């Protein structure tokens, strides 16, 4: 791809396709030395290709970040089993990298808090977070982030994915590269950088309202005093054997009190012995849940609406770079036409924008502009970047 | 391969085209789309079916609950009955065949006017819920009272198409209500009679009493010369008893008048009123009269306050055993400023706790009437006035030190 010299910010994207075991035959370099190198790829390719290690050596001054995915986004294409590398050079903005290790899932909240506290808040514009997708309690992580975050700074980001397998997820650290059990954060500083975001789903709740009668943190045992797994199996029919992936077709709309905005929760894992389901966020006992469903048109409309919500109409042509984090559940519904939702986003911003991103196990963003950030599921969450002179 | 797709290929694609590598790849991809569409369709169908079943079950719980707690009917936009539940059958004695398809007017009571039903129809036919009480007919033309809610069930345009009527039989409550009303009415008239009786009795008793008094005076005059000291004393005692009896009768009269007097509210400066009362009773008898707190200015019936204070203050004087009589009046607001509280404190002999209640009962005196002339009506009147106004009176006392009478009146 030709580097974009017209804009103040420089971006370039490379796509590496691998053999089945993740081997890359030929590694190309970028045409400039980037400030930031973002990688999104399948777990196997991250582990086995050696591409990231190569770039670490090649560009010792660049900040390297990224994660494993349930699908990679490069421009308007959605790939599986590839590695998308996006190089970004800012004209005047600074990026600071921090990370934190999480040993046990119970540390999620304090980890979120401590990670944010590592930053100098003076001049901080935005934080972009990537987290392990399976060994972290996403809603606790976000709660910790919220505790430490200064009011005027917003956070977006997502949880790493592993196809529809839910086995191993990785985050790419700046020095130690591909690892599990870490959360990374990029802090953006500078007077000329403008970072915005939009996050929307397109799912609708249906059917009767049920109550969570037995749950521990993000592990759900019983709904209306019946095994939760049984309920899922009855709705999935033949597809029950594909759990947990097929469970993504029925996310839960969860409300802890009647006057609260409902959040969406999706399945990450199941335990047939315990008849339990593990979700990407907490489900407090006593809260009300409803099944949700979506059709392809509504999901694509949702992605477009997220793009529209992220940037004011007149400023859309200034967006030079955008990171799209879309939920794996959307990919399972959209299937062959998954690229439609990425195209819908590109149509809003125009040809000048460079798109990258991934299909995730959870998205982090505020509901509305300047609201506190939340953990979402099933959304298209867009973070946009532009720089002015 | 998807059957429909296979058919279309056979029909429209020549073999050489169908077998080319690119077409095959294309067809495979289309086939995948077909099968995933079928899968989605089946999933959707399954979801809808399960979800509809669940919704239906949930709805039937509500329906069962409603049917077991109330009389329910549904009528159409022409007021023809379409559904009645078991409770309706049990209460009215109709069979389903007798009411279904009939006009709901069949159940209307002749006791309600046409206008009554018109108002209801106007409200529900414009899409609003009506709530109220009405009489309805049973099959045997007897009636029952019902608390009724009529809910218009609307079509997608918002126009009522059916009317759901939920009724609760309140005949028993209505009967009880009527009984209470009758009882209250008869009680009221009995009370009136009693008042009248007390008034007439005391009036009529006073006439012969005066005659006795006069007669005794005449006898004394007539027998002036021959009367000895004993007889003279007896005649004086006779007149004394006559006076006491007159006082008692006056007491009854006054007691029966409380609540019958129609007086007007006026602005009362309480501290001015208290000084007036003390002056009229005889300020010379009191060594020290103090008003402890700042007295309020109230809008009330002046005569009632006069009766209360003059009774309490004159009692404080009458029963006092000290050489220097001291009386102190206090005032405060109590119960979140809902009540005025007055206190009248004396330095008298005090009252034993066992008498704290009986002193307020009519004709009860703590000491023999020969010792201190008293009718035993005063405190009873005070209590009646206060309680009629929604207040309360009580006494706190310490033997040989004195008593304080407190009373409250609502603001």
**How would DSSP label each residue in B286-334?**
-SEEEE-SPPPEEEEEHHHHHHHHHHHHHHHHHT--SSS-EEEEEEEEE
Chain B residues touching A253 at Cβ < 8 A: none
Cβ(A254)–Cβ(A264) below 8 Å: yes
Q: Which of A115-119, B191-195, B364-368 has the lowest mean pLDDT?
A: B364-368
| Cβ contact A207–B33 (<8 Å) | no
Contact A237 B33 (CB under 8 A): no
* Whether B36 and A237 lie within 8 Å, measured CB to CB: no
Q: Does B78 or A170 have the greater pLDDT score?
A: A170
B54 vs A208: CB contact, 8 Å cut-off? yes
Check CB contact under 8 Å for A208 and B55: yes
Residue A1 has a pLDDT of 47
The arithmetic mean of pLDDT across residues A228-251, rounded, is 88
* B330 closest CA partner among B369, B279, B274, B280: B274
CA distance B31 to chain A (A): 12
Residues A225 and A258 sit within 8 Å (Cβ to Cβ): no
Check whether B282 has a pLDDT greater than 80.
no
Query: Which of B47, B49, B62 should one mutate to test binding to chain A, selecting the residue with the greatest count of A CBs within 10 A?
Result: B47
Q: Which of A208, A234, A291 sits opposite B58 (nearest CB)?
A: A208
**For residue A52, how many other CB atoms are within 10 A of its CB?**
20
Token match 């597809």: residue? A239
Alpha helices by DSSP H, A187-287 = 228-236
Q: How crowded is residue B95: how many other Cβ atoms within 10 Å of its Cβ?
A: 11
What pLDDT score does A299 carry?
Answer: 93
Strand order of the β-sheet with B81-84 is B81-84, B71-76, B160-169, B143-154, B130-137
Q: Using CB atoms, which residue from A207, A237, A336 is nearest to B33?
A: A336
CB contact under 8 A, B47 and A235: yes
A207 vs B42, B46, B55: nearest CB: B55
What pLDDT score does A2 carry? 44
DSSP H or E run through B102: none
- Given strand A321-327, what is the order of strands in its sheet? A77-79, A72-74, A354-360, A321-327, A380-387, A193-200
Q: Which residues of B touch A235 (CB under 8 A)?
A: 46-47, 50
For A231, the closest chain B residue by CA position comes to B50
Count of helices and strands (H, E) across chain B: 11, 12
User: With contact defined as beta carbons under 8 Å apart, do A21 and A44 qualify?
Assistant: yes
Do B46 and A235 lie within an 8 Å CB cutoff?
A: yes
Residue A93 has what pLDDT? 93
Give the rounded distance of the alpha carbon of B150 from its chain centre: 28
State the average pLDDT over residues A89-103: 95
User: Is A234 within 8 Å of B47 when comparing Cβ atoms?
Assistant: no
* DSSP-assigned letters across all residues of B243-258: HHHHHHHHHHHHHHHT
Residue A389 pLDDT? 73
Six token digits for residue B43: 């999933």
Question: Are B318 and B374 contacting, i.e. CB atoms less than 8 angstroms apart?
Answer: yes
Q: Torsion-angle region of residue B406: left (phi > 0), alpha (psi -120 to 50) or beta?
A: beta
Contacts of A206 in chain B (CB under 8 A): 47, 51
Q: Between B299 and A144, where is the model more confident? A: A144
Pick the more confident residue, A119 or A281: A119
Res. A5 pLDDT band, cuts 50 70 90: very low
Task: Mark B60-71 as b/e (b = at least 16 C-beta within 10 Å).
Answer: eeeeeeeeeebb
Judge contact between A330 and A78, C-beta under 8 A. no
Q: ipTM of the predicted structure?
A: 0.72
The answer to whether residues A83 and A152 touch, using CB atoms and an 8 Å cutoff, is: no
State yes or no: pLDDT of B241 exceeds 90.
no
Return d(Cα A279, Cα A243) in angstroms, integer: 13
pLDDT at position A108: 94
Residue B70: the pLDDT is 94
- Between A11 and B253, residue with greater pLDDT: A11
Residue in chain A lying closest to B59 (CA): A208
State the angle between helix axes of B3-12 and B21-69 in degrees (0 to 180), rounded to the nearest 10. 140
- Quick one: B382 exposed, middle or buried, by C-beta within 10 A (0-12, 13-18, 19+)? buried
Model pLDDT for residues A291-332, shown as the tens digit of each residue: 998 888 999 999 999 999 999 888 999 999 999 999 998 998
Rounded to two decimals, what is the model's pTM? 0.65
DSSP class per residue in A6-42: SSSSEEEEEEEE--TT---S-----SS--SEEEEEE-
> Cβ of B51 and A234 within 8 Å?
no
**CB distance A239–B43 less than 8 Å?**
yes
Q: What is the pLDDT of residue A4?
A: 46
B285, pLDDT greater than 90: no
As a whole-number percent, the residues of chain B with pLDDT over 70 amount to 98
Q: Give residue B138's Cα distance to chain centre.
A: 33
Q: Which of A242, A245, A282, A194 is nearest to A359 (CA)?
A: A245
Instruction: Provide mean pLDDT across the span B47-76.
Output: 93
- Facing residue for B54 by CB, picked from A207, A249, A336: A207
- Chain B residues within an 8 Å CB radius of A292: none
From chain B, the residues in CB contact with A293 under 8 A are 47
Closest-CA residue in chain A for B45?
A235
Cβ-Cβ contacts under 8 Å, A336 against chain B: 29, 32-33, 36
Per-residue pLDDT for A121 more than 70? yes
A182 has a pLDDT exceeding 90 = yes
Check residue B262 and give its pLDDT.
63
A-chain residues within 8 Å CB-CB of B47? 206, 235, 293
pLDDT score at A7: 56
A335–B36 CB contact, under 8 Å: yes
CA distance A181 to A133: 9
Q: Say whether the peptide bond before residue A244 is cis (omega within 30 degrees of 0).
A: yes
The alpha-carbon gap from B6 to the nearest alpha carbon of chain A, in Å, equals 20
pLDDT at A319 (0 to 100)? 94
Q: Which residues on A lie below 8 Å from B51 (Cβ)?
A: 206-208, 291
Listing DSSP states for A101-141 in one string gives E-SSGGGHHHHHHHHHHTS--TTEEEEEEEE-SSSS-HHHH
CA distance B403 to A109: 70
Residue A51 contacts residue A27 (beta carbons within 8 Å): yes
**Ordered DSSP codes for B9-77:** HHHHS-HHHHTSHHHHHHHHHHHHHHHHHHHHHHHHHHHHHHHHHHHHHHHHHHHHHHHHHSEEEEEET
Tell me the mean pLDDT in the region B323-331: 91
Mean of all residue pLDDT scores within chain B: 88
CB A12 within 8 A of CB A30: yes
Residue B36 with chain A: CB contacts under 8 Å: 335-336
Give yes or no for residue B45 having a pLDDT over 80.
yes
Q: Span B262-291, mean pLDDT?
A: 83
User: Do B32 and A249 make contact, defined as CB atoms within 8 angstroms?
Assistant: no
- B293: pLDDT confidence band, cut at 50, 70 and 90? confident
From B81-90, B192-201, B274-283, the region with the lowest mean pLDDT: B192-201
Q: Which two tokens stand for residue A71?
A: 């699908």
Beta strand A82-89 with A72-74 is: unpaired
Nearest to B43 among A234, A249, A291 (CB): A249
Question: What number of C-beta contacts closer than 8 Å exist between A and B?
Answer: 26
pLDDT at residue B407 in the model: 94
| d(C-alpha A84, C-alpha A74), whole Å | 6
CB contact under 8 A, B51 and A207: yes
Mean pLDDT, range A230-256, rounded to an integer = 88
pLDDT of residue B377: 79
* Average pLDDT for B14-21: 88
pLDDT at A222: 94
Distance from CA of A137 to the nearest CA of B (A): 30
pLDDT (tens digit per residue) in B193-227: 877 777 777 777 788 888 888 888 888 888 878 87
For the cut 70, the answer to whether the pLDDT of residue A67 exceeds it is: yes
pLDDT > 70 in chain A, percent:
97
- Say which residues have a Cβ less than 8 Å from residue B137's Cβ, sequence separation at least 6: B92, B106, B107, B108, B109, B143
């Amino acid at each position: 791809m030709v580097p974009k010299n017209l804009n103040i910010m420089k971006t370039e994207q490379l796509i590496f396709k691998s053999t089945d075991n993740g081997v890359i035959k030929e590694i190309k370099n970028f045409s400039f030395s980037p400030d930031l190198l973002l990688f999104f790829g399948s777990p196997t390719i991250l582990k086995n290709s050696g591409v990231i290690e190569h770039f670490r050596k090649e560009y010792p001054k660049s900040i390297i970040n990224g994660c494993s995915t349930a699908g990679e986004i490069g421009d308007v294409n959605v790939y599986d089993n590839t590695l998308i590398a996006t190089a970004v050079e800012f004209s005047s903005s600074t990026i600071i990298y921090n990370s934190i290790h999480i040993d046990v899932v119970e540390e999620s909240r304090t980890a979120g808090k401590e990670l944010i506290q590592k930053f100098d808040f003076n001049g901080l514009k935005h934080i972009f977070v990537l987290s392990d997708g399976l060994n972290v309690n996403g809603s606790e992580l976000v709660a910790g982030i919220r505790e430490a975050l200064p009011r005027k700074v917003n956070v977006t980001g997502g949880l790493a994915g592993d196809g529809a397998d839910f086995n191993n997820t990785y985050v790419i650290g700046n020095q130690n590269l591909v690892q599990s059990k870490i959360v990374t954060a990029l802090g953006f500083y500078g007077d000329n950088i403008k970072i915005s975001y939009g996050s929307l789903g397109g799912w609708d709740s249906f059917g009767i309202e049920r109550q969570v009668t037995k749950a521990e943190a993000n592990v759900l045992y019983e709904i209306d005093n019946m095994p939760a797994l049984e309920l899922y199996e009855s709705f999935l029919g033949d597809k029950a054997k594909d759990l947990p992936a097929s469970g993504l077709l029925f996310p839960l709309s969860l409300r802890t009190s009647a006057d609260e905005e409902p959040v969406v929760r999706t399945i990450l894992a199941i335990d047939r012995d315990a008849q339990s389901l593990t979700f990407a966020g907490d489900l407090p006992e006593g809260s009300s849940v409803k099944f949700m469903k979506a059709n392809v048109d509504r999901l694509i409309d949702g992605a477009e609406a997220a793009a529209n919500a992220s940037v004011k109409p007149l400023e859309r042509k200034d967006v030079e770079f955008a990171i799209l984090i879309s939920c794996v559940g959307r990919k399972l519904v959209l299937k062959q036409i998954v690229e439609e939702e990425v195209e819908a986003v590109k149509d809003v911003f125009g040809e000048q924008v460079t798109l990258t991103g991934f299909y995730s196990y959870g998205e982090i963003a505020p509901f509305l502009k300047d609201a506190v950030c939340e953990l979402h599921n099933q959304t298209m969450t867009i973070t946009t970047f532009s720089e002015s002179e | 391969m998807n059957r429909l797709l296979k058919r279309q290929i056979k029909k429209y694609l020549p073999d050489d085209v169908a077998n080319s590598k690119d077409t095959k790849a294309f067809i495979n991809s289309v086939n995948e789309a077909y099968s995933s569409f079928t899968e989605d369709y089946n999933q959707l169908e399954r979801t809808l079916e399960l979800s509809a079943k669940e919704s239906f079950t949930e709805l039937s719980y509500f329906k069962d609950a409603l049917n077991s707690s109330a009389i329910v009917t549904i009528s159409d936009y022409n007021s023809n009955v379409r559904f009645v539940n078991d409770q309706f059958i049990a209460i009215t004695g109709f069979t389903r065949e007798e009411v279904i398809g009939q006009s709901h007017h069949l159940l209307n009571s002749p006791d309600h006017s046409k206008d009554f039903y018109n108002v209801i129809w106007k409200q529900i036919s414009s899409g609003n819920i009506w709530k109220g009480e009405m009489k309805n007919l049973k099959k045997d033309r007897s009636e029952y009272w019902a608390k009724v809610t009529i809910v218009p069930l609307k079509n997608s345009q918002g126009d009522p198409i059916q009317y759901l009527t939920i009724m609760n039989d309140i005949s028993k409550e209505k009967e009880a209500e009527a009984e209470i009303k009758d009882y209250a009415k008869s009680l009221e008239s009995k009370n009136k009679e009693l008042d009248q009786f007390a008034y007439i009795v005391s009036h009529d008793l006073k006439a012969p009493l005066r005659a006795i008094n006069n007669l005794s005076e005449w006898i004394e005059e007539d027998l002036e010369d021959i009367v000895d000291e004993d007889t003279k004393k007896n005649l004086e005692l006779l007149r004394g008893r006559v006076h006491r009896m007159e006082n008692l009768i006056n007491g009854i009269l006054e007691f029966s008048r409380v609540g019958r007097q129609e007086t007007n509210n006026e602005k009362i400066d309480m501290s001015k009123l208290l000084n007036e009362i003390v002056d009229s009773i005889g300020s010379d008898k009191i060594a020290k009269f103090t008003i402890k707190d700042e007295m309020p200015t109230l809008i009330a019936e002046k005569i009632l306050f006069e009766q209360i204070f003059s009774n309490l203050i004159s009692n404080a004087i009458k029963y006092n055993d000290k050489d220097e009589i001291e009386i102190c009046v206090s005032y405060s607001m109590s119960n979140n400023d809902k009540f005025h509280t007055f206190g009248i404190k004396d330095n008298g002999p005090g009252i034993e706790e066992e008498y704290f209640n009986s002193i307020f009962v009519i004709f009860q005196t703590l000491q023999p009437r020969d010792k201190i002339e008293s009718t035993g009506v005063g405190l009873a009147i005070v209590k009646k006035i206060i309680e009629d106004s929604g207040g309360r009176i009580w006494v706190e006392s310490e033997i040989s030190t004195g008593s304080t009478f407190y009373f409250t009146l609502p603001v």
